[in-house]
Amino acid sequence: MKQTIDQLPLTKEIADVLQQLGIKDVNPAYSTGLAWGGQEGRATRQIYSPADGNLIATVSMASEEDYEHMVETAQQAFKVWRTVPAPKRGEIVRQIGQKLREHKEALGKLVSYEMGKILQEGLGEVQEMIDICDFAVGLSRQLHGYTMHSERPQHRMYEQYHPLGVVGVISAFNFPVAVWSWNTMLGVVCGDVIVWKPSEKTPLSAIACQHIIRDVLADNELPEGIFNLVVGDATIGSLMSHDSRLPLVSATGSTRMGKKVGEAVGARLGKSLLELGGNNAIIMTEHADIEMALGAVVFGAVGTCGQRCTSTRRLIIHENIYEQVKERLARIYPKLPIGHPLDSTTLVGPLIDKDAVASFLNALEHVQQEGGKLVVGGQVLEGESYETGTYVTPAIVEAENAFEMVQEETFAPILYLIKYSGEVENAIALQNGVRQGLSSSIFSTNLLETEAFLSHLGSDCGIANVNIGTSGAEIGGAFGGEKETGGGRESGSDAWRVYMRRQTNTLNYSRQMPLAQGIKFDIMD
C-alpha cells in the first residue's frame, strides 16, 4: 500500500515543499534518470526529521539486482553521452542550474528539514549547486591538454583527456546534495555518467534532485542512465567500491569508511577520490583582530551544529590573549539561539540523530577524564521544543592538543581551546599535530606570521586561510585535504582532471622513422 505525503504528520509547509519537488508517495529504490524502479518487495527505511521527529517518508532500499540493472543502464548511456560534444553537455548542466534556481527555496527547506542545518545553510547548499553548474558550463569549453616539443624532427606531441566512464559518488548526510553536485556536474561535462549513493539518513533531498534532473533529461530527449540514483545502505557502497565497471569512486565520509573504500578500489587498481575526516584548527596569535576572529570561530564551531568536515574543532590561542578570548566565547555561547532549523532566528539546529548525541556526550566525558575542563555547554536540551532529543548546547572545553579525544574528529559542536606560547611556529606545530589535514586558518595582522603559516613549513592542510575561518569554501578553489583526509580534490581549479583519463599522443609527419633518445635500430632486408 502506497503511503502518500498527505497521510504523514507533516506541516502543510513541508508537505507543499515535497510536492513541489515531485515527492508524493513511497519512493523507489533507484532511478536511472527517467525511469524509477524497486518498489515491490524491498526493504524500507523510515526517514524522520531531526528537527521535530516527524516521519517524512518511507523509502525503499535498493537490492543487489536493482544496483546491477542500474549500472548496466549507465554503461549503455555512457556509449551515447561520451559522443556528445562537451559544450553540448555543458548546455544540459546549464539547464540543470536554471532548474535549481527555480527550486532553490523548496530544495533548501527540504535539506534543512531532513538534515537539521538551519535554513540559511540549506539555501547556501543549493546555491553551491547552482555555482558549480555555472563553473562546469564554462569548463565544458576548456577541457584542455598541453602541447610539448618533441626531440625528433617533424614530430608533434600533445596530451588530451577522455571521459572515464561510469563514476560512482558516495555522499554523506551533512551535505546531502552539494558534494554530489561538485562531482556530478564536473563528471558529466567531462563525458562521464554518474551513479550516486546518498547517505541513507538523507535520501529525500537526493530524490528531489533526481526529480529536478528528470525534467531536463525529458526536455532534451536524453537517454536513461546519465544521472543515476541508488538508495541503500553500506552494502551498496561496498558493491560500488568493488565494481570494476566504475573506474572512479568518489567517497565523502569518515576516515574509517574512506579506508575501506580506498582499499577495495585500490585492490582492483581503480581510482578513488576521498574526502574524509577533518580536525580543523584556527590559530589566534597575539596580533589577531579578536573581534573579526570571533565571528569566524563561532560559525566554524557551531555552524551545521558542528557537523561539517571543515568545522572548527580546535582553537589555538596565544597565551597573551587566551583568557580574553575564552571569556568572550563563554559569554557568546549561552546566547546562541538553538531551535528548529526553519525558524529564521535559529543559529544552531539539531544533530542528525540520537547516535550523534551519544557521540557528543561520550567525547565530552572522555576528554574531561583526560583532564579537559568544560567551560560552557555540553547539555542535551529538553522540553516541548526539544523533544526529539537531538538538540544540544555547543560546548567549549579547555584541553591539550595531545589528548586522545582532541586527536579524534567528533562530528558535533565541541570546540577545544588550546593555549600556546612563544612564536607562531609553536602554534603551527600544534595545528599540524593531528592525523587529519583538511582545513586550517590563522588570524593575525602580522605579515611575518601569516607568511610563515602559508609557507612550505607552515600548515600541512589542503586548505589554509588567513583571517578567514576554516568553514565555508567557495567552489572556485579545489576542495580537499591531506593525511587521513584522503588526498582528494573536488570542485574548482583543475579538479576536473580526476574524472578523465589522460592520454599522450605523438604524431610523426615526416617520411622517416627516428627513435627517441637517438636509438639506432636498422632493419636489414
The residue range of the domain holding 151 is 65-276+490-502
Domain containing residue 148: CATH number: 3.40.605.10
Whole-angstrom distance, CA of residue 130 vs CA of residue 124: 10
Whole-angstrom distance, CA of residue 338 vs CA of residue 374: 19
Are 455 and 494 contained in the same domain?
no
* Residue at 288 is within a domain: yes
Are 150 and 195 contained in the same domain?
yes
Among residues 385, 351, 438, which one has the least CA distance to residue 173?
351
Are 161 and 241 contained in the same domain?
yes
C-alpha grid cell, residue 396: 567549549
Domain containing residue 285: CATH number: 3.40.309.10
Q: Are 139 and 186 in contact (CB under 8 A)?
A: yes
Alpha helices in 370-485 (DSSP H): 404-407, 424-432, 447-454
Instruction: For residue 361, count other CB atoms closer than 10 A to its CB.
Output: 16
CA 87 to chain CA centroid, nearest Å? 26
Are 176 and 298 contained in the same domain?
no
* Residue at 389 is within a domain: yes
Domain total for the chain?
2
pTM here is: 0.96
Q: What is the pLDDT of residue 1?
A: 45
Q: What is the pLDDT of residue 3?
A: 60
DSSP 124: H
C-alpha grid cell, residue 283: 590559530
Q: What is the pLDDT of residue 2?
A: 54
Are 306 and 185 contained in the same domain?
no
**pLDDT tens, 230-262?**
999 999 999 999 999 999 999 999 999 999 999
Burial 21-42 (b: 16+ CB within 10 A, else e): bebeebbbbbbbbbebbbeeeb
Q: What is the pLDDT of residue 39?
A: 67
Q: What is the pLDDT of residue 220?
A: 97
Whole-angstrom distance, CA of residue 59 vs CA of residue 45: 5
Are 179 and 150 contained in the same domain?
yes
Are 125 and 183 contained in the same domain?
yes
- Give Cα separations from 73 to 93, 216, 515 (angstroms): 20, 18, 45
Are 350 and 253 contained in the same domain?
no
* Residue at 353 is within a domain: yes
Are 184 and 330 contained in the same domain?
no
What amino acid positions are annotated as catalytic residues?
A: 275, 309
Are 257 and 364 contained in the same domain?
no
**pLDDT tens, 342-358?**
999 999 999 999 999 99
Which region holds residue 238: left if phi is over 0, alpha if psi is between -120 and 50, else beta?
alpha
The sheet with strand 280-284 has its strands ordered as 373-376, 395-398, 414-420, 312-318, 280-284, 439-443, 463-466
Whole-angstrom distance, CA of residue 378 vs CA of residue 383: 16
Are 251 and 321 contained in the same domain?
no
Q: Are 372 and 416 in contact (CB under 8 A)?
A: yes
Q: What angle do CA 219, 221, 223 make, to 5 degrees?
A: 130
Are 293 and 271 contained in the same domain?
no
C-alpha grid cell, residue 102: 527555480
Which parts of the chain register pLDDT below 50? 1
Which region holds residue 150: left if phi is over 0, alpha if psi is between -120 and 50, else beta?
beta
